[in-house]
Chain A
Amino acid sequence: MDPIHQFEIKNLLPIFRIGTTEIALTNSALFMLIGLGLILLLMLGATRSRALVPGRLQTLAEMFYEFIAGTLRSTAGPEGMKFFPLVFSIFMFILVLNVMGIIPYAFTVTSHIIITVAFALLVFLTVVIYGFWLHGLRFLKLFVPTGIPIYILPLVTAIEVLSFFSRPVSHSVRLFANMLAGHITLKVFGGFVVMLAGFGFLGWLGAALPLALTTALTALELLVALLQAYVFAILTCIYLSDALHPGH
């Protein structure tokens, strides 16, 4: 009945250890591999026939492609398309992992902050390194917006620097906390059903209410899973757009 128990990392297959650090196949790694396999199946299956009139699977893959390509073009411009493989991989991976987490007894990989921080830092470092590589020191113009009166410019610059460095924090915590809070809520309401059902016949009648609510919350969680994958992708696009056009 412990709502945190579902996020426990289990060691499924010890592989080897370096000093005191154990390298093992955990349930987190297993679900990441399953997610990767599902994406590979979808994409390889969809691109196998390459028909002019697409079949069902190809239509699905083309929908995902057009969706992300359209978002990337509208936020980062046509030159942002060179980042398409990065954004598309991140979107598909997070989407599949989020949706797999809804399935009962499945493990939600994205509810661990280490995973989301890894994604957010990947995007953050890509922006910083690519921005300096492309623009040199002119990349720092990102922190100095044009058209600001000179006497409030130091304040605005300080705020811009602070908001730039808090990006990876909010980027990763948003996805992690959404998935964590959603799954805790589902578990707590599931616990209500079990507790009420323990009271006999009247309890069974009462348990119908939290059961209906759990069903509705599962639908909401599906929406959140899709939305948070999209939010993560669109924020990635917006941050990458800063690397391409630092002068606003």
Chain B
Amino acid sequence: MDPTAAKYIGAGIACIGMGGAGVGVGIIFGNYLAAAIRNPSAAAGQFANLIFGFAITEALGIFSLLIALLLLFALG
């Protein structure tokens, strides 16, 4: 296969990993919203935990995006 074509296909495959992070972030915000509607008075106290969980989950998707960007722009 042409190496350039393989590079672009690899970048596309690497982006699939972001789907998992999307599911994870959706679960985190969805569960936070569900809990916040049940008990609105406790919602503000858990905002820091929400952002922390979001950041940890999002990092994994960002890693796969980084691989895609490295393939596209950094590696030959």
| Chain A residues in the interface with B (C-beta under 8 A) | 4, 71, 74-75, 170, 173-174, 177-178, 180-181, 184, 227, 230-231, 234-235, 238
A-facing residues in B45-76 (Cβ within 8 Å): 48, 51-52, 54-56, 58-59, 62-63, 65-66, 69, 73
* Cβ contact within 8 Å between A71 and B48: yes
CB < 8 Å A-B pair total: 37
* Cβ contact within 8 Å between A177 and B69: yes
Identify which of A75, A170, A184 contacts B48 (C-beta below 8 A). Answer: A75
| Assembly CA distance A74 to B50 (angstroms) | 14
* Cβ contact within 8 Å between B59 and A173: yes
Residues of chain B within 8 A of A4, CB atoms compared: 73
Q: How many residues of B contact A (CB 8 A)?
A: 14
Residues of chain B within 8 A of A230, CB atoms compared: 51
* Cβ contact within 8 Å between A231 and B48: no
Q: Provide the main secondary structure of the chain B interface.
A: helix
| Sample (27) of A-B pairs whose CB atoms are under 8 Å apart | A4-B73, A71-B48, A74-B48, A75-B48, A170-B56, A170-B63, A173-B59, A173-B63, A174-B55, A174-B58, A174-B59, A177-B65, A177-B66, A177-B69, A178-B62, A181-B62, A181-B65, A184-B69, A227-B51, A230-B51, A231-B54, A231-B55, A234-B51, A234-B52, A234-B55, A235-B52, A238-B52
Interface centre among B52, B56, B62, B63, by most chain A C-beta atoms within 10 angstroms, is: B62
| Assembly CA distance A177 to B63 (angstroms) | 8
| Chain B residues in the interface with A (C-beta under 8 A) | 48, 51-52, 54-56, 58-59, 62-63, 65-66, 69, 73
Q: If the complex has contacts A4-B73, A234-B55, are A173 and B48 also in contact, measured as CB distance less than 8 A?
A: no
* 5 nearest A-B residue pairs (beta carbon): A177-B62, A170-B59, A231-B55, A174-B59, A177-B66
Q: Provide the main secondary structure of the chain A interface.
A: helix
For the complex formed, measure the closest distance between the CB of B46 and the CB atoms of chain A, giving whole angstroms. Answer: 10
For the complex formed, measure the closest distance between the CB of B10 and the CB atoms of chain A, giving whole angstroms. Answer: 17
For the complex formed, measure the closest distance between the CB of B55 and the CB atoms of chain A, giving whole angstroms. Answer: 4
Contacts A178-B62, A181-B62, A184-B69 known; list 16 others, CB within 8 Å: A71-B48, A75-B48, A173-B63, A173-B66, A174-B55, A174-B59, A177-B62, A177-B65, A177-B69, A181-B65, A230-B51, A234-B48, A234-B55, A235-B52, A235-B55, A238-B52
